[in-house]
Amino acid sequence: MSRLARPGARARQPRFARMTAMPLPTQDQITEKLRAVIDPELRRSIVELGMVRSIEVKEDGRVEIVVSLTTAGCPIRAHFEQAVAQQVSELDGVTSVAVGFDVLSDDEKGQLQQTLGRSKLPAGALAQVKNVICVASGKGGVGKSTMTANLAAALSAEGHPAGALDCDVYGYSIPRMLGVNRKPEVNGERKILPLEAAGGVKVMSIGFFVEENSAVVWRGPMLHKAIQQFLEDVAWGELEYLLLDLPPGTGDVSMTLSQLLPQAKFAIVTTPQPAAQTVAKRAADMAVKFDLELLGVIENMSGFTTPQGERMTIFGEGGGQLLADELDIPMLGKVPLSEPLREHADNGTPLVTAEPDSPASQAIRQAARGIVAATPQELPVLQATPAPAEAPPVSGTPLPVVQG
Ligand SMILES: Nc1ncnc2c1ncn2[C@@H]1O[C@H](COP(=O)(O)OP(=O)(O)OP(=O)(O)O)[C@@H](O)[C@H]1O
Ligand SMILES: [Mg+2]
């Protein structure tokens, strides 16, 4: 952040005398003007948010400003470009304004999230949730959501009250896989009530709040807020396990979770080909970087047995065990490729509930028992800690919930 222009930064003096009589604006004057440029999503000035990377004033009155965005494809880039140019061109001595963009580093995004609000959940949030388990992978499509939905159903069926929280804000699939989808209601304490899927699994997803199949275009800080709200403002009640379905890859969500839930544990899903293990390890490395505990590996799509009983290793073999050995964590289970597993996920009835004795169900139930064995039953995720002093209220657009 040190390179960011700060209010009060010393003005850079032009090296040569200017030809024109009009004095050049100072960096402070420009910074003051930039205070009027408001990020429409975060509702704060780009100066306050630390998004002004640099300001350069040329001798001929040209001003070059670099604004740091939270993501490269920021949908409101044009807004910043126009607003910055307009504000700065109002200053005397400015002949033209050039606006460039770059992207905040992970550390800078972390600082921005802290500027935006509490970085930890308040005391009492999730107090009745004993374990939070993030289901993660390095790459997409390996079965995280399928595992989350089925593991939650399996845990619940084995007498361990469980919830599933969809943290995949852009590619949510938990509503479909658990067969629930309507706008949640709010209780008398203004907490959002999770929906209940078959078997008593409590479910929350951004998919419940948006028009069907519409895309969610949010940037890191909004994502942080949505997940924070799902953890803080949802009446999860007493749960032994809250499973978090993570989006593919590493990044913003892992960082958010590490700040909000330092006690969360990671289950890494991988396919069996040895090459996939390197990718999955990246997710594990991210968890380790943020000091989150790794619980174990689930190998999914691990072989296929034909109706004649022949076993085929379509995605190779051994990748899960290799990863588990490398990370020195247990293999929680090997779940075979199974058409019924996919079909039931598509129909909103998890296989473990619909066909509890099928081979894939048995493998998932074994993984669920592995999770139970590896997690303490006594401790709540968040001990009662004092709320941070003068925590600013979370700003931004609240989720559009139905009032109960
Ligand atoms: N063991 C399996 N056998 C057959 N199909 C499977 C299996 N596991 C997952 N699938 C299917 O593979 C597809 C991808 O699975 P899923 O959506 O769970 O992956 P994901 O890791 O959550 O993907 P994303 O990274 O996009 O969130 C789905 O259609 C799912 O039904
Ligand atoms: Mg998914």
Q: What is the DSSP string of 111-143?
A: HHHHHHS-SSPPTTTTTTEEEEEEEE-SSTTSS
What is the per-residue pLDDT across 222-259, written as a single tens digit (0 to 9) for each?
A: 677 788 889 888 999 999 999 999 988 766 677 777 77
- Domains assigned to the chain: 27-104 (3.30.300.130), 129-374 (3.40.50.300)
Pocket of ligand 1 (CB under 6 A): 137, 140-146, 168, 171, 173, 248, 300-301, 335, 337-338, 341-342, 345, 360
Residue 49 confidence (pLDDT): 86
Q: Identify the band that residue 392 occupies on the pLDDT scale cut at 50, 70 and 90.
A: very low
Rounded to 5°, the CA angle 279-280-284 comes to: 120
pLDDT higher at 92 or 304? 92
- Please report which residue ranges of 215-338 form alpha helices under DSSP H: 220-232, 252-260, 274-289, 319-327
Q: Distance, CA 367 to ligand 1 centroid (Å)?
A: 17
Q: Which residues pair with 299 in a beta bridge?
A: 270, 334
**Cβ–Cβ under 8 Å, residues 379 and 259:** no
- The CA 161 to ligand 2 mean position distance, Å, reads 22
Give the CA-trace dihedral at 276, 281, 287, 288, to 10 degrees: 170
Cβ-Cβ contacts under 8 Å for 237 (sequence gap 6 or more): 128, 202
**pLDDT above 60 (res 3):** no
| Mutational pocket test of ligand 1: of 134, 144, 146, 347, the residue with most ligand atoms within 8 Å of the beta carbon | 146
Which range has the worst mean pLDDT, 242-246, 269-273, 360-364, 386-390? 386-390
The minimum-distance atom of ligand 1 relative to the CA of 336 is 1
Classified as helix, coil or strand, 392 is: coil
Residue 6 has pLDDT above 90, yes or no: no
Ion ligand 2 residues within 5 Å by Cβ: 144-145
- Residue to substitute in 205, 246, 342, 355 for testing ligand 1 pocket (most ligand atoms within 8 angstroms of CB): 342
Give the model confidence (pLDDT) of 362-372 as tens digits: 999 999 999 99
Atom number of ligand 1 nearest to Cα 301 = 1
Measured in Å, residue 269 CA sits from the centre of ligand 2 at: 11
Residue with tokens 């619909």: 354
Q: Which residue has the higher pLDDT, 203 or 39?
A: 203
| 219 vs 131, more confident | 131
Q: Which of 210, 119, 118, 133 is nearest to 170 (CA)?
A: 210
Section 285-310 average pLDDT: 85
pLDDT in tens, 53-85: 999 999 999 999 999 987 776 667 888 999 999
Please name which of 17, 45, 16 lies closest in space to residue 31, comparing C-alpha atoms.
45
| Confidence at residue 181, expressed as pLDDT on a 0 to 100 scale | 92
Q: How far is the CA of 49 from the centre of ligand 2 (A)?
A: 31
Looking at the CA of residue 139, tell me the nearest atom of ligand 1.
Answer: 25
- Whose CA is closest to atom 29 on ligand 1? 342
Can you name the residues that pair with 335 across neighbouring β-strands? 300
pLDDT of 298 higher than 90? yes
* pLDDT of 378 over the 80 cut: no
**Strand spans (E) along 137-181:** 162-166
Of the chain, the end-to-end C-alpha distance in Å amounts to: 44
Please check whether residue 239 is in contact with residue 375, taking contact to mean a CB–CB distance below 8 angstroms: no
Rounded mean pLDDT, 5-21: 46
pLDDT in the model for residue 58: 94
The whole-model pTM stands at: 0.72
**147 Cα nearest atom in ligand 1:** 18
Higher model confidence: residue 253 or residue 188?
A: 188
Dihedral, CA atoms, 151, 152, 154, 156, nearest 10 degrees?
160
- Cα 336 to averaged position of ligand 1 atoms, centre (Å): 12
Task: Work out the average pLDDT over 130-141.
Answer: 89
